[in-house]
Amino acid sequence: MTKVFEKSPAFFDTFTRKPAMQKTTHYCPGCGHGTLHKIIADLVAELGIQDQTIIVGPVGCGVFIYYYFESASVSAPHGRASAVATGVSRANPDSVTISYQGDGDLAAIGTSNAIHAANRGENMIVFFVNNNIYGMTGGQLAPTTLIDQVSTTSPSGRSVLNEGYPLRMAEMIAGLEAPVLSARVAVNSPKNVRQAIKVIRKGLEIQRDKKGYAFVEVLSQCPTNWKKDPKEACDWIDEVVCQQYPLGVLKDLIEERAPQQRKCERVEFDAIAEQLNLTTSDDNGKEQIELLQDELRFKFAGFGGQGILSLGMMFSQLSMERHMEVTWLPSYGPEMRGGVANCSVVVSKNAIGSPVVDHPNVLVALNRPSLEKFGPLVPQDGLIIYNSSLIDQIPDDLQGKVYALPATDLASTAGTVKAANVIVLGFIAQKTGMFKLDDLESFLTNTFKKPALLEINRKAVQAGWRAAEQI
């Protein structure tokens, strides 16, 4: 075992989350997460399973676990780590799969996922970090909050009549038939850490030997939200928390259980395509596009409702039909409520490294905020097409070649302002030489089934094309 003060070999040498945090973690001083990370990392290294280990991280204070462990890792949506770990474990039967979850993640939003994974006896170890509170979001009551414990949402203390009893997950899991191990440990004192190491070693050995499901609940101090200093928080676990959450091994069938291996069949793409009635043939008689560069990175941006995402999709689909590598990445979030909605599209002759577009070769800005936001990011040899119907002022710091395209006015003349995105489609196709007008028209014919709509969009694409020839 690595010495207590040595950095575990299963950790990265430097943690790259933030430049100022390369040697330390993001956890608060005195937090139990760091101690638990160290125990797991030391044991993973000691058991020689680092290359097999895949960690599934939660939403919560442990969300950045992938910055610390030099293992494969996957981030799961909130509460879904046990479900994601199920997929990871089944698709990689030789892996040692770790699901790392807090009490909000596992015992609130993810209870059903957690219980069913345990009940199926998946080959995984689950670390359930119980600090009796929602840590990351500021100390709200969790299913694990102690009776009478004060939280930001239970200012008079948890009341059994109001919020029910604390959920004892380790006992619940121990009551199921499938799990091999269920235990509760703590990381608040040297004595408890020694006991935790023993139990966690056992849980990881179960994984190494493929014997099934192990659950380790870890009582962990959260000095920040408990409003205690680190020493008081550690003492509080012994004096108060352990009274409601007794430590101990609640179930241990490690000697009785034989290794279990689930069948993992690799399904070929052709078989899936056949099931879905999809053609697997790539040959549609069309040739690859000639691009201005081997890879073009587009950013389409505007108000939600201007057809920005559809514009990106049309470009992607047209490019795919021409056997190009393509990614399409929409951006949602608050931007959908009146600000800048955008999507990134990469079209390449080769495999694409990342779908993220920071410095677009081609920017389409259909409103002013998007031109202000993304315009300065376009390099000198890039193209900026902005909607001059709605933008009357352009930033001073643009470097790329700028085209003013009255997209909304042209669309209105074609029949509806909603066709501004198709105006842009015709404009870019002509300016970049990626598609011929005939290609665009036959694409629209296949896309719009209603004759009236098709007519408007055909007029729009022609108007965009003509505008590009004239500017």
Of 328, 342, 325, 330, nearest to 291 (Cα)? 325
Nearer to ligand SF4, 57 or 223 (CB): 223
Nearer to ligand SF4, 135 or 406 (CB): 135
Q: Closest separation between CB of residue 35 and ligand SF4, Å?
A: 11
Kind of pairing between the strands at 125-130 and 214-219: parallel
Q: Closest separation between CB of residue 28 and ligand SF4, Å?
A: 3
* CA distance to 210, 274, 275, per residue, from 152 (Å): 42, 55, 52
Nearer to ligand SF4, 76 or 425 (CB): 76
Contacts of 376 (CB under 8 A, 6+ apart): 395, 397, 398, 399
Contacts of 200 (CB under 8 A, 6+ apart): 39, 40, 43, 127, 185, 216
What type of residue is 227?
K
CA distance 444 to 453: 10
Nearer to ligand SF4, 139 or 212 (CB): 139
The total number of residues shown for the chain amounts to: 471
Torsion angle, alpha carbons of 369, 373, 376, 382, to 10:
-80
Cβ-based burial of 141 (10 A; exposed 0-12, middle 13-18, buried ≥19) = buried
Nearer to ligand SF4, 193 or 419 (CB): 193
Nearer to ligand SF4, 42 or 105 (CB): 105
Nearer to ligand SF4, 151 or 430 (CB): 151
Nearer to ligand SF4, 28 or 47 (CB): 28
Nearer to ligand SF4, 31 or 218 (CB): 31
Alpha helix stretches (DSSP H) within 8-131? 32-46, 81-91, 103-104, 111-120
Q: Closest separation between CB of residue 26 and ligand SF4, Å?
A: 7
The encoded tokens of residue 312 equal 């990106």
Chain position carrying tokens 């957690």:
114
Kind of pairing between the strands at 72-75 and 295-302: unpaired
Q: Closest separation between CB of residue 137 and ligand SF4, Å?
A: 9
Kind of pairing between the strands at 362-365 and 383-387: parallel
Q: Closest separation between CB of residue 304 and ligand SF4, Å?
A: 34
Question: What stretch of H or E contains 215?
Answer: strand 214-219
* DSSP calls for 114-171: HHHHHHHT-S-EEEEEE-SEETTTTSEE-TTPPTT--BTTBTT---HHHH-PPP-HHH
Q: Closest separation between CB of residue 58 and ligand SF4, Å?
A: 12
Nearer to ligand SF4, 27 or 465 (CB): 27
How would you label 158-197 residue by residue, b for 16+ Cβ within 10 Å and e otherwise?
Answer: beeeebeebbbbbebbbebebbbbbbbbbbbeeebbebbb
Residues of the shown chain interacting with ligand SF4 in the complex, contacts defined by CB under 6 A: 27-28, 31, 33, 61, 131, 135-136, 222-225
370 alpha carbon, distance to own chain's centre = 25
Strand partners, 347: 296, 326
Chain position carrying tokens 């505008």:
467
Nearer to ligand SF4, 136 or 377 (CB): 136
* CA distance to 168, 269, 317, 356, 421, per residue, from 336 (Å): 41, 35, 23, 18, 17
Q: Closest separation between CB of residue 412 and ligand SF4, Å?
A: 54
Nearer to ligand SF4, 222 or 391 (CB): 222
